[in-house]
A and B are shown apart, each in its own frame.
Chain A
């Protein structure tokens, strides 16, 4: 831990990092890394490791990252078995090395789920999420000039709820933490975000049915209410979104089942 003696503390770490080429079996590689500042982020520590590997003429570890300020959802590492590491409510890029002990062995793995195949080392293919979004995670509007802001009134509680759900950055930690590899928290967040806003009403049922179908086809598992997703979500999305997804799905299925064909049945009057 950090001591205020005017000089920053550093850590010497043992790292077990996953090495894998696409379509081939992977294995852990062990590396030692010295003089890691406690103020460094986890990704900066990984950068240090990669620089050390480059200097030694070895292959670096591939890992996803982009904004490094906790909002893009690109970073994806399972650290000591926990997606985004030991501190709840933060992404890997916002996880700092002061949360680790000197001499500690840290295990770094990719997201583990059938729907997220490993591309290389710690980078996984999350296009399953893209497919789910393509199947209904949008609203159909006329593009072009911005619409008049107050044309569609949105009640404040609805706006707040939609905003809470929209906090989801689509990183996939829910799938990685779920013991069933289920994407229900992600899909639930998107459904809640769009299904409760007035702009999302036109496609509401179609969206729900379509996104759930795509989710199943992409190879994600089913929800059995472990609650691990909520506990590991860097944006602290709650299981509420799953309950509401279930409710909307039931509603849509019932409405679809009893939908009107607009014609009298054959043999009827």
Chain B
């Protein structure tokens, strides 16, 4: 969970910073997209690592959830929680929604299988994004998914350190704060784009 999660958490940071080129204008984001597609080795290398990490993350996640549910054996009738965070208790659920979002997102922007409104933009990424987020359901689904990603990362990023044995009582709260900050930076970075399209800041 930790190693694959680390790869995926790193990926969303890279993806988010790339996306912010939207605010620099159509030339910047289109040039970045063209550069990515020109470097086939880099693109497919990254894609391979991501695909393997994603499937491993899902596989281990399902295994964990099933094993843990069985080991708990129902739990006490009067359940009391002292410190487990909402994020930690909803990891499988936030994960499933993020997976659903990722599949839709790939169909939408990578395979271009979801036709919404005017789709005659060819390789113009900028126009594609504007057209995509002009659809309110798409933009809202995107925003909600990114908030759930924020929740998922706030627990996951801090847990990576625990799994690798690089956490103690002194650093736990600090790492929790760092993970929360990281999660919000990622989420707000992603959300800024559909929000800018919805409010008409990006046209």
Instruction: Show the binding face of A for B, using Cβ within 8 Å.
Output: 28, 78, 80-82, 88, 107, 109, 112-115, 176-182, 219-228, 230-232, 238-240, 242-248, 250
* B76 contacts the other chain (CB 8 A): yes
B159 and A243 within 8 A (CB): no
* Chain B hits for A248, CB < 8 A: 165
Known: A179-B75, A179-B84. 6 other contacts (CB 8 A): A107-B76, A181-B68, A219-B71, A222-B64, A246-B165, A247-B166
A240 and B71 within 8 A (CB): no
* B48 contacts the other chain (CB 8 A): no
Shortest B92–chain A CB gap in Å is 10
Bound form: Cα–Cα A182–B71 in Å? 7
Instruction: Give 22 A-B contacts (CB < 8 Å), ordered by A residue.
Output: A28-B77, A78-B78, A82-B82, A109-B76, A112-B75, A115-B71, A179-B68, A179-B75, A180-B71, A181-B72, A220-B71, A222-B68, A223-B162, A224-B159, A227-B88, A228-B84, A230-B83, A231-B83, A238-B169, A243-B162, A245-B165, A246-B165
* Chain B hits for A179, CB < 8 A: 68, 72, 75, 81, 84, 89
B88 and A224 within 8 A (CB): yes
Partner of B72, one of A78, A180, A230, A245: A180
Bound form: Cα–Cα A225–B163 in Å? 9
* B152 contacts the other chain (CB 8 A): no
Closest A residue, CB atoms, query B1: A224
* Chain B hits for A80, CB < 8 A: 78, 80
* B74 contacts the other chain (CB 8 A): yes
Per-residue contact bits, chain B 134-173, to A (CB 8 Å; 1 contact, 0 not): 0000000000000000000001001101111111110010
A240 and B169 within 8 A (CB): yes
Shortest B175–chain A CB gap in Å is 11
A224 and B168 within 8 A (CB): no
Instruction: Show the binding face of B for A, using Cβ within 8 Å.
Output: 64, 67-68, 70-85, 88-89, 91, 155, 158-159, 161-169, 172
- Knowing A221-B67, A222-B64, A247-B164, the reply to whether A227 touches B73 (Cβ < 8 A) is no
* Chain A hits for B70, CB < 8 A: 114, 219, 221
Total cross-chain contacts (CB, 8 A): 117
Shortest B32–chain A CB gap in Å is 36
Shortest A97–chain B CB gap in Å is 18
B83 and A221 within 8 A (CB): no
* Chain A hits for B68, CB < 8 A: 179-182, 221-222, 224
Closest A residue, CB atoms, query B78: A81
Closest A residue, CB atoms, query B172: A239
Bound form: Cα–Cα A221–B168 in Å? 22
A225 and B88 within 8 A (CB): yes
A181 and B88 within 8 A (CB): no
Shortest A249–chain B CB gap in Å is 8
A227 and B64 within 8 A (CB): no
* Chain B hits for A78, CB < 8 A: 76, 78
Bound form: Cα–Cα A114–B70 in Å? 7
Closest A residue, CB atoms, query B61: A224
A221 and B155 within 8 A (CB): no
